[in-house]
Amino acid sequence: MTHSIKFWAVVPAAGVGKRMNADRPKQYLDLAGQTVIEHTLLRLLHANIFAAVAVAISEEDPYWSELTVASHEKIIRAKGGKERADSVLSGLHTIRDQAADDDWVLVHDAARPCITSEDIHHLINSLVNDDVGGILALPSADTLKNVLGNNIVGTLDRSHIWRALTPQMFRYGSLKSALELAVGNPAITDEASALELQGLQPKIVEGRPDNIKITRPEDLALAHFFMEQQQ
């Protein structure tokens, strides 16, 4: 029996964001009058493609339930995990009764509030007929060094180096089993690396450079600037 393929979003949002040195997790910091995570989720909803958006929130999180977007009909709360991969897996588990193995899942960091509908649809249109799936990425503009201590021990060939962004788009079934097999492996820092561990070769799709991840305090001002430019 055939069914129409659905698209789901999973948003890991259970990190603490230590590098921000703030009084609350970075996804709850103010950015142009709204929290970072509200921007992210409203932009995903605005893309008008997802059956639902599963958001992984820490059980000790006192901020989430205060947000209007938390009660949006397409938002599903999942339990945050110890590592990002655990949070994503938990998000996948909350939609297990509704999602089919060949449905597509786009995993997007809560901390990337400048994501555009244009990039989401560009990723989907580029990969919807692909066997494996893939990720938004950017070619590296800087020369990258391999360093031990503070000694440079090599220079990477920049022409082969891309920076992994999100969303990362994979089939529900293969992403879930790849993450289940990867649990506890510290080398799994994104979804693509879990699939790579299975011998698969996800594709890269060039994304927009304004899709930054809020990591350090100065990134908030940069995100604000990019949002103004996008209007």
Q: Which residues of the shown chain bind ligand C5P in the complex (CB under 6 A)? A: 12-15, 27, 56, 80-84, 87, 109-111, 213, 215
Least Cβ distance, residue 13 to ligand C5P (angstroms): 5
Any bridge partners for residue 106, and if so which? 9, 169
Least Cβ distance, residue 151 to ligand C5P (angstroms): 27
Using CB atoms within 10 Å of the CB of residue 229, give its burial: 0 to 12 exposed, 13 to 18 middle, 19+ buried. Answer: exposed
Cβ pair 166, 105 in contact under 8 A:
no
User: Taking Cα atoms as reference points, which of 105, 126, 104 lies closest to residue 5?
Assistant: 104
Nearer CB in complex with ligand C5P: 76/130: 76
Nearer CB in complex with ligand C5P: 58/130: 58
Least Cβ distance, residue 3 to ligand C5P (angstroms): 30
Nearer CB in complex with ligand C5P: 27/168: 27
Nearer CB in complex with ligand C5P: 20/195: 20
Q: What is the CA radius of gyration of the chain?
A: 17
Cα separation, 209 vs 230, whole angstroms? 12
